[in-house]
Structure formats: C-alpha cells, structure tokens
Structure 1
Amino acid sequence: MDLTPLSEPHSQGQSNPNQTSHLEDVPYQVHQISASSSIRIVCISDTHCTQPSLPEGDILLHAGDLTNKGSFEEIQAQLGWLKEAPHKYKVVIAGNHDVLLDPAYVKRFPDRIYEGEGTSQTDLNWGDIIYLNRSSIKLDFPNGRSLDIYGSPLTEQFGTWAFQYPPIRDVWTNSIPKGTDILLTHGPPRGHLDLGGKGCRFLLKEIWRVRPRLVVFGHIHADHGQQAITYSSDEASYDIPMMGEIGVWATFVIRFRLASEKLSELLCWRSEASSSTTLVNAAVVGGPGNVEGRPAIVIDI
C-alpha cells in the first residue's frame, strides 16, 4: 500500500485500468553483504497484480501486497506467476491489500471479500511457495549454510485493510525469534525507508533487540531502496527518538548496552546478533496510479 500524500492522484485499493500486468523491465543492482559462499536473495514487494521479470537467485522474497483487491482470482494469478520462478526457495508474506489471506478481515467484512465454494483461502494453490504468517522457516543450502527467516504481514492501521493494528498497540516486542537471519515484514521500521517516519516504532525496537542480518519490507512505495543500521552510538542517537524513547536515561541505557557488547567482542565472547542490519524497501510499483516500475533488489548474504 502506498502511503503517499492524499493530494496525489492515487486511488487506494483500486486497480488502475491503464496498468498492465507486466511492468517494463528495469535494471537491478547486486549488493553484497557477505563475501564467501554467498546466497543470492532477490527482494520484491508491492507488485499489486503486476508480474515483473525476476533476476536469478537462490531465494525469492516477496514482502506482501501481491494484489490490489485481494480476491481469490488476483491472489491465485500472482501465485501462478511466482510458482514459475526458478529460485530454489520462494518465501511470501501477505500485505494489507491481500485481504482474502486474513480470516479476521473476511469474517468482519463479508460484504467486501467473498469466500465461496472453490474460492476460499484454503482453495489457493501455493505449489512450492512458502507462506509465512507470524512464523519462521529454516532454509538449508548445498554449501552447508542455512538461513532462518521470520515473516509477518502486520502493519499499522491506515484505512480499513487486512492484517492491521492500531499504531499505539505493540504487537512486535519479543515476537521475533533470536537468531533470525532474515526478517520479512510488509511495513518498515520507523525512520528507515518509510517516507519520513511512517513506519512502526515498536518494529524498530524489536529489530534492535534481534539484529537480523537482513530486513525486507515494502508498503511505502515512494521509499524504494536500501540502507543499513550499524548499531553504533551515532545510530542510537537517531533511532532512540524513532522508537519513542526520550530522555537522558533512555540514551544512557542504549549506549551502555552498546559499550558492553563492544567489550564482549574484544574479549571474544560469542554473540548471535549481527553487527549491522541491511534494510531493503523492495516496493516494485510506485508513482501516481502505480504505473512506475522499480527493480528487484538483489542481496548476496
């Protein structure tokens, strides 16, 4: 879902009649965060019924909003496209537009989404696609490596859509398992690739606790790109206010923890946490009417 200013001529939740099912091919770049025995990860999100060409890789991640209206027909068409992708693993979460996948939404709004015989969520053909909904999967590779991925579709409430929660509610604290390598969410953490603070502060705080190597999301179409959290004192000075933590005491606690972890590294104490986290907003469509196409972001991890 695109949280662009309301003055922009974009009709939320509706298909653009001029939008084709295939966006014009756009070049992609490879970003390397691991040098040896790397695993190539192709990151996309917010395809909204489009089916762009996909770079080769070991894992294909889709961070939700496969569709516009979330009907059975739209979702199945997107699953059919993804099933044809050559990647060894294809991991998908829902987005707020993929309403059929949210049983609570279907029950609450039967007039907006219809589940009939042969067109219910259980009738979808996922093939070899891995669907995560506040759950984890461990993926093994021939080079002996493995990656733990946790996926969640939850986003802060904006309008009446699926998988949403009030912004004041903390749905993230202690929800992501320690040791998670890749976090796949639909919405961004606050202050990072979120169009100036439209992300979730509780998600940012949870990322600081778990420190996955890679976080992939979308939702905010206008902030497609990549950046990193380095867990430095300077980073803490920026992120602490984003988390909603204020005051000298909060700053002291974070900086004390960073200093303690640095001491642990010097003393060669083992830590499961990453020293930095790569953040990717992989939203494919954008612009007025979602007619602009953005490239997949490719990460070597």
Structure 2
Amino acid sequence: MRIVCISDTHSMHRQIEVPDGDLLIHAGDCLGVGTLDELADLDRWFSELPHPNKILIAGNHDWCFQDEPAEARELVRHAHYLQDSPLELEGLKFWGSPWTPVFFNWAFNLERGEAIAERWAQIPDDTDVLITHGPPAGILDRISSPTGTIRPGCDDLAERVARLSLKLHVFGHIHEDHGQEQIGDCLHVNASTCTGSFKPVNPPIIVDL
C-alpha cells in the first residue's frame, strides 16, 4: 500500500501537489479558522483526488469537529473521518485521534497526565498505523526558540506508542520538525505541510507498507 501523508494544510490544500497513491492520510489542522464552509471545500478537494481511500482526523484548529460534530461529520463524504476510532483497509488496522496537550485555548486540548492518557489507552494493541494530530515527546517535536530548543510532544503518547507494535505513526502539529524518523519497527512521520511561518511548502511524505 502506498500511503501519502499530509497534515496542517490550514485550508491551503489547493496550493499543494499531492502525489498519487493508494491512501491519503491527513493528520489534522486541515482548516484555517475551523468553519463548516472550509470543511465543505476540503471535502470537494478530496473528491478531486485519485486516491481510492482517504483518512482524515481533526486538529486543534478544526473547531467545527468539536463544536458542531454532527454537522462536520456529515460534510465529510470523501474521506474516512476517525476520532478515537478504528478503520481496517487491506489488512492494515488504523486508529485516528485528534487530541493534543493543552496549548493556549485550542480545540481537542486535554491536560497532560490522566486526562490525555485515557485517550491513548483506547488505542488497540493490534494497531498497525496510528494517526494522531500531535507528536509523542522526543520524536519530531522540535521547535527552535531564542532560549533554545523546545520539545512540546506528549509524554503520555510516547509511553503508549512505546508499548505498541506499530508499523507507522503519522502526525503533524509541530510545523518546524517535518520529516521522518525510524525507531525500531515503527516509522514516525511528521507530515506538516505548513512551515513555522505557515507557508504550505513542505512536501507530502510517501510511505510504502
């Protein structure tokens, strides 16, 4: 299966070139300000792409999935929307989840510790491909600042991922650390399309499973 990974397009999806593949994964922050109108346009764009399957999760900018969940889910007609839920495609088991540790006042934020760990505990042990909006602590979560490097990834997610036998973990959220990192049998992909200055120039990442 050829998997094309993108994330953090922030309603600039029509400015990017997406390679062909069997599956397109969008790991959240698909919208700019999080409106239903933006989501409707995203779904129209999905309908124009050739990938037989598409998976979408929400991110911290995607307010309509939190505030108007029924209306938002109804608009997604050309992708599988996952929110703490599974999907099986061609023998691979996927799980998608939008949560990130509290950062100012954004959608799908939970406090570090028990609150967010409860979400990660829902991930089935036999998951092959995990899609979260944010990274685990210490993996493709670097932000450079005048005072040094900040790594805001989720410790509780890192602990859960370490106990799973994943083949692939796709996320975004930290625009500045786009790329791939192989740890054991799992390939971690930060698929953020936008850079730290919100320019949609980071290329999609292709993974063959």
Q: What TM-score does the superposition give when structure 2 sets the normalisation length?
A: 0.89
C-alpha separation in 1, matches of 2:100 and 2:139: 15
Q: Structure 2, unaligned stretches of length 5 or more?
A: 143-149
Secondary structure of the structure 2 residue equivalent to 1:210: coil
SS of the aligned residue for 2:161 comes to helix
Secondary structure, aligned partner of 2:75: coil
Partner Cα separation in structure 1 for residue 52 and residue 71 of structure 2: 27
Q: Which residue of 1 aligns with 2:159?
A: 205
Consecutive unaligned residues in structure 1, runs of 5 or more:
1-38, 107-114, 141-145, 231-275
Which position in structure 1 is the counterpart of 2:187? 278
> Aligned pair 1:228/2:182, yes or no?
yes
Please tell me the residue identity of whatever aligns with 2:194.
Answer: V
SS for the counterpart of 1:178 is coil
Deviation (angstroms), 1:76: 1.1
2:3 matched to 1:95?
no
Deviations 1:137-171 (A, max 9, x none): 0112xxxxx11100000101111111110123323
1:138 counterpart (58, 64, 88): 88
Distance (whole Å) between structure 1 residues aligned to residue 32 and residue 39 of structure 2: 9
CA distance in 2: counterparts of 1:222 and 1:184, whole angstroms: 19
Corresponding residue of 1:268 = none
1:66-96 per-residue CA deviation (whole Å, 9 max, x = no partner) reads: 0111011111111211122111110000001
Deviations 1:29-82 (A, max 9, x none): xxxxxxxxxx10000000001121210101100000001110111111112111
Aligned to 2:146: none
Partner of 2:168: 214
- Deviation at 1:292? 4.7
Partner residue of 2:12? 50
- Note the 1:114-153 alignment, pairs <5 A: 120-121=71-72, 124-140=74-90, 146-153=91-98
- Are the aligned partners of 1:171 and 1:202 in contact in 2 as well (CA < 8 Å)? no
Q: Which residue of 2 aligns with 1:287?
A: 196
For 2:41 and 2:189, the matched residues in 1 are separated by 25
TM-score (norm. length: structure 1): 0.63
Distance in 1 (CA, whole Å) between partners of 2:199 and 2:141 is 20
Residue 104 of structure 2 corresponds to residue 175 of structure 1 = no
Distance 1:292 1:86 in 2: 21
Amino acid at match of 1:284: T
Give the Cα separation in 2 of the matches to 1:91 and 1:286.
22
Matches of 2:47 and 2:29, distance apart in 1: 16
Higher-strand-fraction structure: 2
Output the CA distance in 1 between the equivalents of 2:21 and 2:156: 31
Deviation at 1:172, TM superposition (A): 4.1
Task: Please give the alpha-carbon distance, in whole angstroms, between the structure 2 residues aligned to 1:97 and 1:174.
Answer: 24
Contact 1:83 1:126 in 2 (8 A): no
Matches within 5 A, 1:147-166: 147-166=92-111
Distance, in Å, in 1 between the alignment partners of 2:47 and 2:132 is: 21
Q: Secondary structure at the match of 2:180?
A: strand
**Larger Cα-atom Rg:** 1
Aligned to 2:19, the other structure's residue is in SS state coil
What's the counterpart of residue 234 of structure 1?
Answer: none
Q: Is the 8 A contact 1:44 1:61 kept in 2?
A: yes
Q: Percent identity?
A: 40
